[in-house]
Chains A and B, each alone.
Chain A
């Protein structure tokens, strides 16, 4: 019955597999190299490897600037992701549970930060903040990150909300719960994995964001800004690589967590 399976295959199936695994290697190789060289006992980044060391990791702990940058990034990341998750959830509720005039207009507006080049977003916000006299600090960076992440958060939560019918909520309300009670005790708990996924994916984006941050950061530093500033000094490259390796491993772990949460939701 299934003709597809009986059909003589023009490609041997392993050819596709070989290509797939070569491609996967290509995707992971640069990341692997960063991690490999973070343990390399040499002052330049070049082959051959010079032996195993943990001294770059020790040096990381001793850099005061770095610790400031990490603290700043965590603060901005946590706060902006919380706000983005809340705003995104609100928008997701609005677009999946209500019909209102201007809905498609709102959707167009909310989709724009997803596609507009980062440099445009960065300079447009820079102009406004400078014009109305808001000094460039971590706060302005945070606002930028909220705008970047709210549309993503909205999409993640809306996908979950569209996944279960409004019937459950209607049932709760028929049984006497008011709207906000239903929201708090039925809708949001059911969407909780999506909320967590939205928060975590906003958080990883925020930790890593450079292109917009660059324009809004003023004289403060976040982790990517610090990393970028260190690139000018060749002697610090091993340290940069080590920091990069740490950030990479952490972000891979968060990404896998987000993926697990999203699997739970669909």
Chain B
């Protein structure tokens, strides 16, 4: 990462400083102004109480209220469980895909990887919408099963439940888990397996002792890249979750849209960010390991 400077230019350092300022100034300013500042103001907002438009005063009321509201804590916990289940299912489904691509698909593996990633890069909202139409009593799945005669009457399975939320989230996020696991397996030194085989290690043993441990950074990165964004998810529960599938993110959204308790909504967001903080750090760590 050497910086460019003409070696014989005596003014190089000053000129380079100016260049750096011109180049890094705008993106830094944009991020500070429209990203860091909003987060900071949001944090300050948690110390406010009162109603929007009415008199707002500095106080710790919001904190007190959050502390006492055990329904909020339960919902945060339940959302964490939903995110956890989603992430684990994603890993279970994605690991064999990544393994197949790296060890069995040969030269075609990049093409096949792209094939499964393409849907993931298309519209998030539309893919959730598709599941809303598939699940449910009058949904495509039920009417299809009725039509081919596999079931007698529509079963009110899935739609507007926590299961529906998990199914949809797994569908949306699973390719993003396959990606880091693929990267980790791809980086692995395959000669290790040959050496193990030469020394008489059975394939399953080699897998458990070599492949799996070496792919763990990818698994962790995949886990976090699902867990972190889904914890704050509110669109999927809104579309397929109904009352039973409601998540913490919905409650935050509610504070800003209907309940208009912005300080409480801010505090809820802040609590979620703090809860996620160790994961952010772990995420950076696993990312560094995965970089060549």
Please give the residue numbers on chain A whose beta carbons come within 8 Å of chain B beta carbons, in ascending order. 2-4, 7, 9-10, 13, 16-17, 19-20, 23-24, 26-28, 30-31, 33-34, 37, 44-48, 86-88, 90-91, 93-94, 96-100, 106, 108-113, 115-121, 123-128, 131, 143-144, 146-147, 150, 154, 166, 169-170, 173-174, 179, 182, 201, 204, 207-208, 210-211, 214-215, 224, 227-228, 231, 237, 240-241, 244, 247-248, 251-252, 255-256, 258-259
Provide the bound-state CA to CA distance between A207 and B175, in Å.
21
Q: Taking CB as reference atom, which chain B residue is nearest A30?
A: B130
Q: Are B147's CB and A47's CB within 8 A?
A: yes
Task: Given contact pairs A7-B197, A120-B269, enumerate 14 new A-B contacts (beta carbons under 8 Å).
Answer: A16-B96, A17-B104, A31-B127, A31-B130, A34-B129, A109-B32, A117-B231, A119-B253, A123-B252, A126-B256, A179-B4, A208-B125, A227-B125, A258-B121
State which of A7, A231, A252 has its C-beta within 8 Å of the C-beta of B203.
A7
Q: Which residues of A contact B60 (CB under 8 A)?
A: none
Our count of residue pairs bridging A and B at CB distance below 8 angstroms stands at 260
Provide the bound-state CA to CA distance between A117 and B146, in Å.
39
CB of B37 within 8 Å of the partner chain: yes
Q: Are A28's CB and B119's CB within 8 A?
A: yes
Q: Which of B61-69, B136-144, B158-166, B181-189 contacts A (4 or more CB under 8 A)?
A: B136-144
Could you show 24 A-B contacts with beta carbons less than 8 Å apart?
A4-B193, A20-B97, A23-B93, A27-B119, A30-B130, A30-B131, A34-B133, A44-B138, A94-B24, A98-B3, A110-B27, A111-B284, A115-B280, A117-B231, A117-B232, A119-B233, A120-B42, A120-B232, A124-B266, A127-B42, A147-B35, A182-B4, A215-B256, A255-B122
CB of B156 within 8 Å of the partner chain: no
Q: Are A150's CB and B262's CB within 8 A?
A: no
Q: Are A174's CB and B6's CB within 8 A?
A: yes
Q: Which residues of A contact B276 (CB under 8 A)?
A: 117
Provide the bound-state CA to CA distance between A47 and B177, in Å.
33
Provide the bound-state CA to CA distance between A163 and B26, in Å.
24
CB of B152 within 8 Å of the partner chain: no
Closest 8 CB pairs of A and B: A117-B232, A30-B130, A124-B38, A46-B143, A16-B100, A91-B27, A94-B24, A208-B123
The verdict on A26 contacting B140 (CB below 8 Å), with A90-B26, A118-B229, A128-B37 known, is no
